[in-house]
A and B are shown apart, each in its own frame.
Chain A
């Protein structure tokens, strides 16, 4: 305990490095440091740390380098955009082959079927024409579909269609069956599962 009390108070060591001591205090400390390697070691480490801290902002990065460092981040943005696309599920709002939606008996049994889905602010209008076991799906997306892609698929087959400037599309003929529709838009992915395309 007596030994501990003889050491220089740590705050005084900090003051010596940070702001300096009076001449008398410094001389007294120096005498102690000659005999005490522990205090001398602490003071040296403090000096090293303060020297290190003052070097931190001694250099200024050239502006061109800063610009390059900022540009490093930019390539990630498109990736982020895609990964955070809102996933929407289409909900059936109209099917003229289903009695509850049929406007009248005549439409309910025509060869052309109209099915409407809603997904958030988007509407998907499908028209299905049946020809002897096959069918052709066409339609339109509202209100927009910039850079969009559309795909219809089942366990057996997958077909893609292009979207024109009015967001209209026409798929090639496919066998009657149960299909899923996926529409990839800039900020959203619309999925409509289990569309029964059977006569």
Chain B
């Protein structure tokens, strides 16, 4: 990883991809792949189907790179697209789910390992996650970056780095974080 590009914003990464910068694409994949992969996995899809979802999402991103109107909302775009594709896949798979015990052997074809969670519950869970991401997209650039760095990055970012990147005093991270979280939960429906 090139240290000087480690903290490029999503907008900068998308712009770099548009210029043909392969490294920027690697940065996007590296930054979001685990988080996105967890969406279909939590919804009960097997590793292979979850990988298929991810492949579709990144193919769509590549196709739409030049037409993404708000690249600063890349994270929201990626999570929403992943959820839609996951829901689509679940609905497609469950249409063919076995109706009786006699059909149970066929179930293995669907690679639907999480028997505890019914499709409706999965959809509700995905919708709740979507509400959090939607709220996150609405709290403003500064808050979004702070909350993302503190709670949603794959690797934990030290406060000193957060302060440097966001150009805010170290001592104001705590109070700002609190205000941003308050803003966030106000935007999440009851």
Interface centre among A45, A58, A62 (most CB of B within 10 A): A45
Q: Are A80 and B34 within 8 A (Cβ)?
A: no
Neighbour of B58 across the interface among A62, A72, A76, CB < 8 A: A72
Q: CA–CA, A59 to B37, complex, Å?
A: 7
Q: CA–CA, A80 to B24, complex, Å?
A: 15
Q: Are B25 and A59 within 8 A (Cβ)?
A: no
Which residues in A have their C-beta under 8 angstroms from that of B142?
A: none
Q: CA–CA, A69 to B133, complex, Å?
A: 23
Q: CA–CA, A52 to B65, complex, Å?
A: 27
Contact with B along A117-130 (1 / 0, CB 8 A): 00000000000000
Neighbour of B185 across the interface among A11, A45, A77, A81, CB < 8 A: A45
With an 8 Å Cβ cutoff, the count of chain B residues facing the other chain is: 37
Q: Are A50 and B58 within 8 A (Cβ)?
A: no
Q: CA–CA, A84 to B20, complex, Å?
A: 10
Contact with A along B150-162 (1 / 0, CB 8 A): 0110100000000
Q: Are B25 and A73 within 8 A (Cβ)?
A: yes
Contact with A along B30-68 (1 / 0, CB 8 A): 000111011001100001001100110011011001000
Main secondary structure of the interface of B (DSSP, over half): helix
Using known A-B contacts A48-B128, A48-B132, determine if residue A61 contacts B37 with beta carbons closer than 8 Å: yes
Using known A-B contacts A59-B37, A68-B51, A73-B62, determine if residue A53 contacts B151 with beta carbons closer than 8 Å: yes
Check: A42 CB closer than 8 A to any chain B CB. Answer: yes
Which residues in A have their C-beta under 8 angstroms from that of B22?
A: 73-74, 77
Q: Are B132 and A61 within 8 A (Cβ)?
A: no
Neighbour of A10 across the interface among B129, B132, B182, CB < 8 A: B182
Can you list 19 A-B contacts (CB < 8 A)? A10-B181, A14-B181, A45-B185, A45-B188, A49-B132, A50-B151, A52-B129, A55-B38, A55-B42, A56-B34, A61-B37, A65-B33, A65-B55, A69-B55, A72-B25, A72-B59, A73-B62, A77-B22, A80-B19
